[in-house]
A = this chain, B = another copy of it.
Amino acid sequence: MKMLINVPERVVTDALRGMALAHPELVVDVENQVVVRRDAPVAGKVSLVSGGGSGHEPMHAGFVGRGMLDGACPGEVFTSPVPDQAVRAASATDSGAGVLFIVKNYTGDVLNFDMARELAEDEGVQAARVLVEDDVAVTDSLYTAGRRGTGGTLFVEKLAGAAAEEGAPLERVEAVARQVAGACRSYGVALSACSTPAKGGPTFDLPPGELELGIGIHGEPGRERRPMMTSGEIAEVTVDALLEDWGGSPPTHPVLALVNGMGGTPLLELYGFNAEVQRVLAARGVAVARTLVGNYVTSLDMAGCSVTLCEADDELVRLWDAPVNTAALRWGC
């Protein structure tokens, strides 16, 4: 598998160097692999810090900026960041109002962020943590006890980030994050495997003519493999898997919908898939308040897609519409 890289060992640091050069509004500590807002710490503001293995770009570093994250700590590809990275991101961004760590539910991430939280508290930083475990496909997957954290992370970071930007105190920001984490459900489908730089080729075998339903964002096994399906059929399976997890009836409030590409699927196809997802949502009686289509929570070069629905009351819709100014998500600023 050909890649646009120098050597596998330097992929993440090379990317951080390139990110620094493209985004003067960010402070990028390449050596320690920490990205923070240039204006951090923002006086009186709760800081949001997230991170995880690289390979899911633009998440998380692409979500650092006004109205979303204050700091991010990318690990090596598909590898949890070490606690020191998260502590550095917290210390660099804490204004004294406290830090909320947003953690995707993978064993390594949970362990390392828990340790980071303790270390940060030892340094006098008031710290809280919210876990994102939105992937309804499987429980106790590879790397995970419980459900995996995937596309719902974007909603937690955006909505809690908006609350923090408005000056909400830590307990309120944490409450919003928990509400959103509980309101999100995701389901992903792979048309191809992804290739990691270290391996130099596909991380699993997905035969021609088959797709994998319920795929994880590291290529972890999903629910089942089936012969290739149409976009409309994939939308039906995906939406129905999400609604089944809602107890079989549609959400009470309208949803925020993320129709997400895994990285290797053209935007042309993603928009077409969105049409099918919205068709099925309408048929199932789900009202959609806002829709975001694009590559936001990716798996390197994997072809495929995921759908995340976030049930949103008026307040969450308002927080979604609030200004955000990051490399990957930007409006109202």
18 residue pairs from A and B, CB less than 8 Å apart: A2-B191, A4-B191, A4-B270, A4-B304, A5-B231, A6-B276, A11-B272, A14-B272, A18-B270, A18-B276, A19-B293, A21-B274, A21-B291, A57-B268, A266-B300, A330-B331, A331-B333, A332-B333
Task: Determine how close the nearest CB of chain B comes to the CB of A300; give it in whole angstroms.
Answer: 5
Q: Enumerate chain A interface residues (CB-CB to B < 8 A).
A: 2-7, 10-12, 14-19, 21-22, 54-55, 57-58, 62, 77, 191-192, 208-209, 211, 228, 230-232, 234, 259, 263-276, 278, 288, 291-293, 295, 298, 300-301, 303-305, 325, 330-333
The answer to whether B209 touches A2 (Cβ under 8 A) is yes
User: Which B residues are in CB contact (< 8 Å) with A298?
Assistant: 266-267
User: Which B residues are in CB contact (< 8 Å) with A57?
Assistant: 266-268, 271
Expressed in whole angstroms, the Cα–Cα distance for A211 and B269 within the complex equals 25
Given A18-B273, A55-B268, A266-B301: A4 and B234 within 8 A (CB)?
yes
User: Which B residues are in CB contact (< 8 Å) with A6?
Assistant: 230-232, 272, 276
Expressed in whole angstroms, the Cα–Cα distance for A325 and B11 within the complex equals 32
10 new A-B pairs (CB below 8 Å) besides A7-B230, A263-B266? A2-B211, A4-B269, A11-B272, A18-B259, A21-B288, A57-B267, A264-B301, A266-B300, A267-B298, A333-B333
The answer to whether A22 touches B259 (Cβ under 8 A) is yes
Expressed in whole angstroms, the Cα–Cα distance for A55 and B269 within the complex equals 9
User: Which B residues are in CB contact (< 8 Å) with A17?
Assistant: 272, 275
Expressed in whole angstroms, the Cα–Cα distance for A14 and B332 within the complex equals 29
| Interface hub of A7, A266, A295 (most chain B Cβ within 10 A) | A266
A-B pairs with lowest CB-CB distance, top 4: A14-B272, A18-B274, A18-B275, A18-B271
Expressed in whole angstroms, the Cα–Cα distance for A64 and B266 within the complex equals 19
Task: Determine how close the nearest CB of chain B comes to the CB of A80; give it in whole angstroms.
Answer: 16
Task: Determine how close the nearest CB of chain B comes to the CB of A20; give it in whole angstroms.
Answer: 8
Task: Determine how close the nearest CB of chain B comes to the CB of A54; give it in whole angstroms.
Answer: 6
Expressed in whole angstroms, the Cα–Cα distance for A272 and B57 within the complex equals 12
User: Which B residues are in CB contact (< 8 Å) with A234?
Assistant: 4
The answer to whether A54 touches B268 (Cβ under 8 A) is yes
User: Which B residues are in CB contact (< 8 Å) with A10?
Assistant: 272
User: Which B residues are in CB contact (< 8 Å) with A5?
Assistant: 230-231, 269, 272
User: Which B residues are in CB contact (< 8 Å) with A7?
Assistant: 230
Chain B's closest residue to A57 (CB) is B267
Expressed in whole angstroms, the Cα–Cα distance for A228 and B268 within the complex equals 28
Task: Determine how close the nearest CB of chain B comes to the CB of A51; give it in whole angstroms.
Answer: 14
| Interface hub of A16, A268, A300 (most chain B Cβ within 10 A) | A268
The answer to whether A231 touches B14 (Cβ under 8 A) is yes
| Interface hub of A17, A21, A230 (most chain B Cβ within 10 A) | A21
Task: Determine how close the nearest CB of chain B comes to the CB of A16; give it in whole angstroms.
Answer: 8
The answer to whether A295 touches B293 (Cβ under 8 A) is no
Expressed in whole angstroms, the Cα–Cα distance for A2 and B264 within the complex equals 11
